[in-house]
Structure 1
Amino acid sequence: MPHGEQAQAARWTGTATAAPGLLAFTGAIGSAEPHAHAAVQVLLVLDGEVVLTDRHGHRLRTGAAIIPAGARHELRAAPGTHGLLAYLDPAHPAARAVAARIAAAGDPAGVSTWQIAARPLTTARPLTVATPTLPGVLSSIGQTADTSGLPLVLSRALEAVPQLIDGPLLLGELAARVGVSAGRLGHLFAEHLRLPFPAWRRWARLLHAIEAVRGGATLTEAAHGAGFADSSHLTRVCHEMFGLAPSRLVHLVRPTA
């Protein structure tokens, strides 16, 4: 990692928690190089200043943003900035609840759209008077707005992923498990999770690897257990999705007291 990037990453200090389909961080926010993750990111700045840059080069100082999966962006935080960031699997109810709001707000790849989509976070009074809890944030962005759920076939496919994640995790193999064609299952991923299957698979592998390290595995063991070729492959994917190396990310992800 270049020296300047090391200095930026060093400013990230706090507590991160991981659960199926969810990675959340609360604490001092650092900067991250341009990246795009296969998750919906919720950003809430509690103190300090964050500037987001989208793939068009547009910059915006913001106190809250919801960034859709696959949207390339750069994050620059002033020293002393604190806040909450949540990374939601596109299948998470909260992620699906904001998808329509993001689409209605404008260009999903545009930073101004991300800020408009997050307006409930800046207007919800409980979030302005105290350090927010993750359930409170999810409620404010409309976690319960989408109650229709996922198609049964897609839900069954997602449930089968942990049994296959240490291998190739091919779309055809997963489709055969749930009794549909690979083309049909790929269409369901794109339609309901708003991501092509390969992008979602990288995200699922990364969460699995993080959980393994939290359980005591080395980066190499976690990489192999999550289906990555090796720890270097895990490092590349982590950097692409978070703008940080896994060694730094895993250091942050630890159980809360």
Structure 2
Amino acid sequence: MMGKAKVPAWSGAVTLQPGCLVFSGAVGTTELHAHAAMQVMVVTAGEVQLRDGHGQRRSTRMALIPSRALHAIHGPEATAVFMYCDPDSPLACGLRARIVGEDQDHVDGWIAAAQSSPPVRQEARQRLTGDQDPYAWLADPRAGLSCHPAVRRAMDHTQRLLGGPVRLQDLAVVVGLSASRLGHLFAEELGLPFPVYLRWARLRRAMELVQEGTSLTKAAHGAGFADSSHLTRVFHEMFGLAPSTVLRSIRWAAPESDGRLA
């Protein structure tokens, strides 16, 4: 009797950069998920299969996956670099402009956007040739655009409040706008509603705490989640995996650049 086929496991290094989270290593399998980040995928060996929310599947070595795009990943015997660019980073703003309309929801659009994007192609060349400065292209001032000043102030204030409640109404008072206007600006500038941005910001903070050696439970509370179960649900929503699965197989790596991703 044949046993179950082995499910490809994730293993590799995770780097928390200002403005970007980077995974580099062996690619496993995820369930359907949608994160708040703009994801750049560059496969360095083999091919990765992407599935969109419409059930379309494609094998590729390069993709640009937009914020909130429903997708799943399967990468048997593949290695890759995944760059999750924070939705408020200049880089994400620039990449978001490269994929619009219906292409945002379809795997063919993600692949085409990557192939036509000079920054993604440059990243692929540097990764495949072992360039010693793999983030050099991110220093290009043309890589992205600045967010609306009110949105930037609201995000800066949010970072100081992540350990507790964060309400859009309170942020609106701080920046001198109505809550409805500030919510509209978040959707317009970042391409996602404020609650989604907030969940991503909390998730980032929790990962920073875990990297520093904090337990998952304490990291959840430190990032403003109700408990570790709440953190697990959001992590699964954003990455299609349980955090415990990832923590067993990844190592934390030191940043490779001087913060130019911000």
1:28-43 alignment to 2 at 5 Å? 28-43=26-41
CA contact (8 A) 2:127 2:134 kept: no
1:107-118 alignment to 2 at 5 Å? 107-118=103-114
Which amino acid letter does the alignment assign opposite residue 90 of structure 1? P
| Shift of residue 108, structure 1, vs aligned partner | 0.7
Matching residue of 1:85: 82
Which amino acid letter does the alignment assign opposite residue 135 of structure 1? Y
| Shift of residue 123, structure 1, vs aligned partner | 6.9
Which amino acid letter does the alignment assign opposite residue 72 of structure 2? E
Matching residue of 2:259: none
TM-score, length of structure 1 as denominator length: 0.88
Which amino acid letter does the alignment assign opposite residue 183 of structure 1? S
Compare 192-201 and 11-20 and name the one that shifted more: 11-20
Query: Which segments of 5 or more consecutive residues in structure 2 lack a partner in the other structure?
Result: 256-262
CA contact (8 A) 2:187 2:193 kept: yes
Once residues 143 and 44 of structure 1 are traced to their aligned partners in structure 2, the CA distance between those partners, rounded to angstroms, is 22
Matching residue of 2:50: 52
Which amino acid letter does the alignment assign opposite residue 85 of structure 1? F
| Shift of residue 255, structure 1, vs aligned partner | 2.6
Once residues 106 and 5 of structure 2 are traced to their aligned partners in structure 1, the CA distance between those partners, rounded to angstroms, is 25
Matching residue of 1:218: 215
Matching residue of 2:182: 185
TM-score, length of structure 2 as denominator length: 0.86
Q: CA 1:219/1:51 → structure 2, altered by over 3 Å: closer, same or farther?
A: same
SS in 1 for 2:135: helix
CA RMSD of aligned residues (A): 2.3
1:198-213 alignment to 2 at 5 Å? 198-213=195-210
SS in 2 for 1:98: helix
Matching residue of 1:26: 24
Q: CA 1:250/1:207 → structure 2, altered by over 3 Å: closer, same or farther?
A: farther
| Shift of residue 256, structure 1, vs aligned partner | 3.3
SS in 2 for 1:102: coil
| Shift of residue 224, structure 1, vs aligned partner | 0.6
Identity %: 45
Compare 107-116 and 13-22 and name the one that shifted more: 13-22
Matching residue of 1:95: 92
Write out per-residue CA displacement over residues 18-66 of structure 1, whole angstroms, 9 at most, x where no aligned residue: 1333210111111111111111111000101111010111111111001
CA contact (8 A) 2:7 2:29 kept: no
CA contact (8 A) 1:63 1:122 kept: no
Query: Which segments of 5 or more consecutive residues in structure 1 lack a partner in the other structure?
Result: none
CA contact (8 A) 1:35 1:73 kept: yes
Once residues 226 and 99 of structure 2 are traced to their aligned partners in structure 1, the CA distance between those partners, rounded to angstroms, is 35
Matching residue of 1:16: 14
Which amino acid letter does the alignment assign opposite residue 100 of structure 2? A
Residue 135 in structure 1 maps to residue 135 in structure 2 = yes
Once residues 103 and 183 of structure 1 are traced to their aligned partners in structure 2, the CA distance between those partners, rounded to angstroms, is 24
Q: CA 1:50/1:126 → structure 2, altered by over 3 Å: closer, same or farther?
A: closer
Write out per-residue CA displacement over residues 204-226 of structure 1, whole angstroms, 9 at most, x where no aligned residue: 00000000111121111110111
| Shift of residue 111, structure 1, vs aligned partner | 0.4
| Shift of residue 167, structure 1, vs aligned partner | 1.5
Q: CA 1:74/1:161 → structure 2, altered by over 3 Å: closer, same or farther?
A: same
Matching residue of 2:125: 126
